[in-house]
Structure 1
């Protein structure tokens, strides 16, 4: 396959009058890659190194979630994961996609799971890494260390605070290079980015929006979508104990744990992540549907 670059894969779509920026590559069954919510994040920053591998097997679509990267942020009248899930459904309509498989990281996992709750017929399988939404903390303090560092950066977006936040994302701090911090700082300090990120995170704590929101984890037992959970044992953003809560309640579920790995499973354990996810997503349907009964 020809090398995939930012420019060669970049496309934009109009969904209900708002811009949706995406990276698209490959052919076949549609696969959506949904990124997390950290400062300066985008589909490209989250999945650029995984995109070529998935594009060998799927029509792979990695959108910038609403309010991130090149995608517009709609007015938030619901908590963000629900609002974003509705926008992803709109993007699927725009692309003529009735159903797809999804890979979601962190916030992207929550968005994919909310989409499966709203429109189960549109989500064939879910692979979720360190996902929010479907689990709650059992033992670790709330908010987690990762969230504390995120809030500190949003309050005062300095390079030192970006480094402190990124340190909570990975187990191997040798992966934290000046190039990585420079890229994240550049993206995070683009005009309007910090304000949009504050609105996105704030929606999940907004009293009026939370009052009309039914937490996703309370509906986990009713999920019909075969789900693979992937978790870094050293995750300091959404700690590992949350994996076991979700595994206990999701009816059709598998859990794969990575030692010496933090929140960015797709980065720290790239090859193993791709192998496990591809096996799950390409497995015969009957095998996937039966997998959860032994979990």
Structure 2
């Protein structure tokens, strides 16, 4: 029988490094940290809540809202966002008295996990990266991708129509785009301060001043020896599948698993397959 977990029943908060951090936690065993991606209305709960019951059976599963997302506060953006977020996740591990953990990161969350593995390799036992940024570089597609274009359109004019346009680039099967999903994302995205924080975060990601002195993560891939599983939807329109191949070539300890008829949200569209493959990887 699958345990039912609720938002409030799993949610914890603490002030860490001068900023309120919110996370969800369930299960016992070796720690597994799930880091969500970016996008309007995203949070740890919206990204991974349907996967939580499966992982909580095997792991002490921790799902943080990354800095500026969900219910976590946004610290001063005085450095490249992925680096800042990686340092903040390390502080959360310290708060939870976890020396090292397995990680699964989706999209931007994958870039944050990989940055943490580069900065503090002893903190990351292994990492499963879903359609990850940072380590991936497009070979054939245009830049920015269709998914990023729809995302930035929504941030400039946050209408329901543009939200639907963005979600359509996230999934292969548009039957998954229900009114309930769109309503939830709109409600979260239009909450006080969310759009402003999103713009600030993307500004910190692309600000050339903040990026100065921070070599692109993919140029450091050869130094990241953390065992890595790349998970990619073949029909991803946010970070298209061809992005996977450079990371697959450069990372020393890596394997790649692709999913047909699947977009950027592998954990949603191929839920049971994602859970099976990533659990096998994390329990070796």
Smaller-chain TM-score bracket: over 0.9
Map 1:149-164 → 2, pairs under 5 A:
149-164=150-165
Deviation of 1:163 (Å) = 0.4
Partner of 1:293: none
Alignment check: 8 A CA contact 2:16 2:95 kept: yes
TM-score, normalised by the number of residues in structure 1: 0.95
**Which runs of at least 4 in structure 1 moved beyond 6 Å after TM superposition?**
none
TM-score, normalised by the number of residues in structure 2: 0.99
Q: How many angstroms apart in 1 are the aligned matches of 2:50 and 2:137?
A: 30
Map 1:184-263 → 2, pairs under 5 A:
184-263=185-264
Alignment check: 8 A CA contact 1:78 1:213 kept: no
Partner of 1:70: 71
Q: How many angstroms apart in 2 are the aligned matches of 1:227 and 1:256?
A: 11
Q: Is there any run of 5+ residues in structure 2 with no aligned partner, and where?
A: none
Deviation of 1:212 (Å) = 2.3
Deviation of 1:224 (Å) = 1.0
Partner of 2:184: 183
Q: How many residues align?
A: 283
Q: How many angstroms apart in 1 are the aligned matches of 2:101 and 2:278?
A: 14
Q: Is there any run of 5+ residues in structure 1 with no aligned partner, and where?
A: 284-295
Partner of 1:134: 135
Map 1:83-162 → 2, pairs under 5 A:
83-162=84-163
Deviation of 1:51 (Å) = 0.6
Alignment check: 8 A CA contact 1:28 1:58 kept: yes
Q: How many angstroms apart in 2 are the aligned matches of 1:210 and 1:2?
A: 43
Q: How many angstroms apart in 1 are the aligned matches of 2:66 and 2:94?
A: 16
Alignment check: 8 A CA contact 1:144 1:238 kept: yes
Q: How many angstroms apart in 1 are the aligned matches of 2:261 and 2:199?
A: 31
Q: Cα deviation per residue 1:151-209 (whole Å; 9 max; x = unaligned)?
A: 10011111010000000000000100000000000000000000000011111111211
Aligned CA-pair RMSD:
0.7
Deviation of 1:7 (Å) = 1.3
